[in-house]
Amino acid sequence: MINKKYCPNCESGKRKLILDVSGEKDTYLDYLNSKGYLDIDYKNIVRQYWQCEGCGLVYRSPVLDKNEKEILYEYFRDVEFRGENRQEYFNRITSYPRQESENYEKCRFLEKYIPETGTLLDVGCGAGVFIYAFKNYFQKWEVLGIEPTEGFAEFAEKEGIKVDYGYLTENTYDKTFNLISLIHVLEHVDSPKPMLSLLKKYLGSKSLLYIESPSVKDIDYLPSSHDRFMSQHDVIFSESFLQNCLRESGYEIAASEDFISARKRNNVRILAKLL
C-alpha cells in the first residue's frame, strides 16, 4: 500500500481530515487475504480520507499499489465473494422494473440530451447491465463496452452485448463515439485528469461524456463501515470538484447534479462536451 501525503490531483500538501476508517473492516481485503491473493494486515494501518485545501479533492491514504489493484479487480467479482455468479447478477439487475432500475433512470436522464441515433462506448462496463438497458431504451443506437475483468467480454457476448476485454488506451479504437459513459469508474483511479484526457481522443465535436460517481455527501449520509469507504475507492468527488476538473481538462459542462439513486446512495453525475 502507498501512503498519500500530497493531493493526487494538484500535489498540494495542505489538507484536512474528513473521515477515519481505521477501525472498520474492509471486506475486499478480508476476502483477498483469506484466499491468499494478498497479505495486507490492514487492521494495523491508519486508513483515512483527506480533503485537499487547494482543489477540494477527497482522497484516500493509503491506497493499493498497482499490483494490489490488479489483484483486487481480478478477484473481487468471484462468486464466493459476491454470493452470485455473473448470470445471476445480470438476471437480477436487468429484471428490475423500470421504475426501480438505476440503469433505466440513467437512460431517462440522458434522453433529454442525446439524439435519436448514435454510438455509445461504456468504459468499465462490467457485465454490461447499463449497455443492456441503454440498448433496450434507445433501440436505434449502436452500443459497445470495454471491461478489464477477464471473462466479462465472453459472458456479455452470450447476452447479445459486444464487450471488448482490456483497458482503454490511446490505441484501442480508431474511431470516435457520440456518447461515452463512465459509470462508477472514475473513483477507482488515483487522479481523474489522465482518464479525462484520454477520453477526448474518442469524442467528436458534438459528442457527450457522461460521468457518474459516488458523492462526498455520502460521508455524512452513510456509516463509516460502508463499502463505499473501503480499499477499492481511491477518491470521492464533489460536484464542484468534478466540474472544475472537467473544465481544466478541456470540457464544457452540459448538465450536472447531485442526486440520490434508487439504492439510496448520493451520486454525482455530469454530462460534458469538448470545448
Tens place of pLDDT per residue across the chain (275 aa): 999 999 999 999 999 999 999 999 999 999 999 999 999 999 999 999 999 999 999 999 999 999 999 899 888 878 888 888 888 888 899 899 988 999 999 999 999 999 999 999 999 998 899 999 999 999 999 999 998 877 777 777 777 888 998 889 999 999 999 999 999 999 888 788 999 999 999 999 999 999 999 999 999 999 999 999 999 999 999 999 999 999 999 999 999 999 998 888 899 999 999 99
Contacts of 37 (CB under 8 A, 6+ apart): 71, 74, 75
CA distances from 262 to 78, 96, 137, 184, 206 (A): 25, 11, 18, 15, 30
Contacts of 41 (CB under 8 A, 6+ apart): none
Q: Is 148 helix (H, G, I), strand (E, B) or coil?
A: coil
Q: In sequence order, what are the beta bridge partners of 63?
A: 2
Q: Which amino acid is at 104?
A: Y
Taking alpha carbons only, the member of 134, 131, 129, 94 closest to residue 114 is: 134
